[in-house]
Amino acid sequence: MSPASPPAPAPGPGPEALRALLPSDPSSIAGYRLLGRLGAGGMGVVYLGRTGTGELAAVKVTHGDQADQAAQAEFRARFRREVEAARRVSSPWAVPVTGADPDAPEPWMATAFVPGPSLGEAVGAHGPLPERSVRVLGGAVARALAAVHAAGIVHRDVKPGNVLLAVDGPRLIDFGIARATGETALTATDMVVGTPGFLAPEQAEARAADIGPAADVFALGCLLAYAATGRPPFGTGALDALLYRTVHDEADLAGLPQPLLGLVRQCLAKDPAARPTAEDVAARLTEDAPGAAADWLPAPVVATIAARSAAMLALPDIDATAPGTDPAAPVGSSRRGFLTLGAGAAVLAAGGGALALWNSRRDGSGDGKTPAPAPRKTWAVGVLADLSGPAQEIGRAQERGARLAVERFNSVHRGKPFTLELKVSDDRGDRTGALAAARRLTSDPSVLAVLGPTSDDTGIAALPAFEEAGVPLLTTSAGYNLFTLRGVAGPANTTVLRAVPSHFMAGAFLAWSTTLLPRVGRPGVLQERTDDQYGWQYVSGARFGYRQAGLTPHFRVVPGRATDYRSILGEMIDAGMDTYVHCGVRSTAVLAARALDGLGFTGARFTGQHVFGTEFIEEAGAAAEGWYLCAPVIDPVQRAADPRQKAADRKLVQDFVDIHRKRYGTAPAYYTGESFDVVNLVTSWLTARAALGPLTRKGAWEALRARTHTGVMGGYAFDKNGDLSGVGTFLYRVRNGAYAYLGAAPAEPAKTKPGET
């Protein structure tokens, strides 16, 4: 708004992760009947396959739309290397290869299917493992790594998602980036390969010549710490922050059982030569192998494995596929959401491919016999929001804005060929259920675009559903950079349109806002790590902003659990701080506000999006008075009364305020107007697109990205990456216990000191 490689899926998630085949998917590959999709990412799609004798396998195939890539020698070499690496490993604790053909038109590889959760899934759902479980886990994975290293290979991506849990022990999977010792890399020498947070320092610094078996041992140490504590030892958040901590900081091992502490610390030594070998680790984790018993795992994890194993019995039978049969045709009915036939008409699986297939047959083309279906009379815009969790105030405001926009569309376009519905899915602010909440929308073929998510965490967790289905996702509140910035080696964003600044840019706008004030010479910038990715990105943006302004701030980083803000801020004042910038969440901003009041600090105090809201004023009380806050939203009531706006613009906003009052009985809350605008951007595209022929999801993201739109809250346009063009950050000050709207944040540092805004 302006006044500016996903990891390859683990070949063993349970059936609840199994999704129906898309119309573009094959029905069988090299004797494996394909039952559904386990996931997509990295180099291809992973299917659940079954042999003629009933054995299940995870079948990894290059993407259907990557045929050109598969023809490239480099790509085939990479796939062939993965197959060869996996075949050279002989260990009961590594998933074996059961078949492969790197030279097929679409290269494929099959591995044994493990119906248990990954370590990451298990810890995320049930919490840290007890010490014995960690010892069994570590011993088995260490033995698998010993076999990997004995085969002359370095795995290079040992992480919770690449360890599957079965009743008879864990399994190490995914040799997609494994590399033979001494082998020349197929990737650039300065490219970081692996998963941040589970990389050795030599990997984090891309020192290719130093990456050997010891790097896997470092990752194993990270894995053991994660399993025992439930958190990565170097935290979470932005990529550059994780890499920096891995190289320079000590691991956070609080809560690790004392008997494991010494071994894990040795595994996490910065110097590769100081780490034990995988064989040494296996010998020191002396628990016996679990055998056929499941008592090495906590009961809730065993129950998950049992449920997934039982669900395998409900998979469809294998039916012969006649030549010319639609590859999306069913293989039987089941509660897994496979395609079903009824009354002679195919009920197509949801998703971009199925929707495109429906539209391709509207004219009766295809098999030459299918009658043209009647045009769809109702389409939908979805809302994925936190309606009952920690950010429900924002989520409900977003839903109301979207609903008003849909009602406006139907009112204006009454009698047109179709009507529009609003379909809402509550993610509850819980990342563990966000993907399922997203799929409730993306699996509905009537949904053409979705407003959401409310928060960063739920959005990142839900993103795969939108990428797989080809449904555009437009956010008015999530600023995490990875929604649109996938990295040099990752795929380009073709899914998200971010109608708010990234946290990095918001941090820069925040820094530039402080330069509007006189006598700002030594800002104090505090990063607290409750929401690490948000705080780090804000600090990085502020660092950039102050560098542009020619100022040298005093930076301080504190743990999220810190409470003694009087001492922390007292040290910053002693260091010469004349302006305070808080890069953290609301609860710690309240502590900072009270501490600064108690210390008699008279300088200006600034903070950002995750503090902005009525709760900060309520909780900080008098200590909030005078604070400046930057947020990606405008108060519609204050905008309607702003004399700086043109009369026509003020009337437009006032009409929106009046409509909201009539519909809901109150003035619109923050985020309502922006959500109303963004959904109106979608409906304006629908109106134009419907005049050209049948609606489909295909091309929707690119068409929306190319649009410009003027709404009640301002103008919207997007750059080639899907990020908002322009500023999109607005400045408020707390006056008399309320937010006073000051206007848009500056797009560059102030060149003069004109006095307080």
- Average pLDDT (727-735) is 97
Q: Compute the radius of gyration of the chain from its Cα atoms.
A: 27
| The overall pTM is greater than 0.85 | no
**Residue spans of alpha helices (H) in 317-385:** 352-360
Which of 186, 184, 180, 240 shows the shortest CA–CA distance to 213?
180
**DSSP assignment string, 95-130:** PPEEEEETTSSS-EEEEE---SPBHHHHHHHH-PPP
Asked whether 78 and 122 are in contact (CB, 8 A), the reply is no
Tokens 């295909």 appear where?
698
C-alpha 637/C-alpha 532 separation (Å) is: 33
Instruction: Report d(CA 427, CA 448) in Å as an integer.
Output: 19
Q: Which domains does the chain have, with CATH numbers?
A: 15-309 (1.10.510.10), 347-495+647-660+681-699 (3.40.50.2300), 503-631+732-744 (3.40.50.2300)
Where does the pLDDT of residue 312 fall: very low under 50, low under 70, confident under 90, or very high at 90 and above?
low
Per-residue pLDDT reduced to its tens digit, 535-545: 989 999 999 99
The pair phi, psi for residue 38, each rounded to 5°, is: -90, -25
Assign 344 to helix, strand or coil: coil
Amino acid of residue 688: A
In angstroms, rounded to a whole number, what is the distance separating the alpha carbons of residues 590 and 749?
Answer: 27
Is-catalytic flag, 157? yes
Confidence band for 410, pLDDT divided at 50, 70 and 90: very high
49 phi-psi bin (left φ>0, alpha ψ -120 to 50, beta other): beta
For residues 61 and 29, is the Cβ–Cβ distance under 8 A? yes
What letter would DSSP give residue 736?
Answer: T
Q: How far apart are CA 545 and CA 504, in angstroms?
A: 10
Q: What is the pLDDT of residue 362?
A: 32
Per-residue pLDDT at 714 exceeds 80: yes
User: What does the pLDDT average to over 315-326?
Assistant: 41
Q: How far is C-alpha 45 from the chain's CA centre? A: 19
Q: CA quadruple 484, 490, 494, 495: dihedral positive or negative?
A: negative
> Is 711 a residue whose pLDDT tops 90?
yes
The terminus-to-terminus CA distance of the chain in angstroms comes to: 22
Nearest to 248 by CA among 262, 235, 257: 235
216, pLDDT greater than 90: yes
- Residue 373 predicted with pLDDT over 90: no
Tokens of 130: 């007890």
Phi-psi domain of 311 (left: phi exceeds 0; alpha: psi -120 through 50; beta: other): alpha
Q: How far apart are CA 31 and CA 318, in angstroms?
A: 12
Quick one: tokens of 225? 């710490």
Sheet containing 496-498, strands listed edge to edge, beginning at the edge strand earlier in sequence: 419-426, 378-385, 447-451, 473-475, 496-498
Count CB atoms within 10 A of the CB of residue 246. 27
The answer to whether the peptide bond before residue 453 is cis (omega within 30 degrees of 0) is: yes
Determine which one of 25, 101, 157, 635 is catalytic: 157
Q: Which two tokens stand for residue 143?
A: 């033995």
> What average pLDDT score do residues 432-445 get?
92
Query: CA nearest 90: which of 43, 167, 149, 17?
Result: 149
Residue-wise pLDDT tens digits, 495-511: 999 999 999 999 999 99
- Tokens (6 digits) for 637: 């009531």
Name the residue among 482, 479, 484, 502 with its Cα closest to residue 494.
484
Q: What's the mean pLDDT in 258-265?
A: 95
Q: Average pLDDT, whole number, for the chain?
A: 82
pLDDT, tens digit, for every residue of 18-45?
Answer: 778 887 788 888 888 998 888 775 557 8
pLDDT of residue 428: 95
Residues 6 or more apart in contact with residue 136 via CB below 8 angstroms: 169, 170, 285, 287, 288, 289, 290, 296
- The H-or-E segment that residue 245 falls in is helix 239-248
| pLDDT, mean of residues 615-625 | 97
* Of 463, 444, 464, the residue nearest 452 (C-alpha): 463
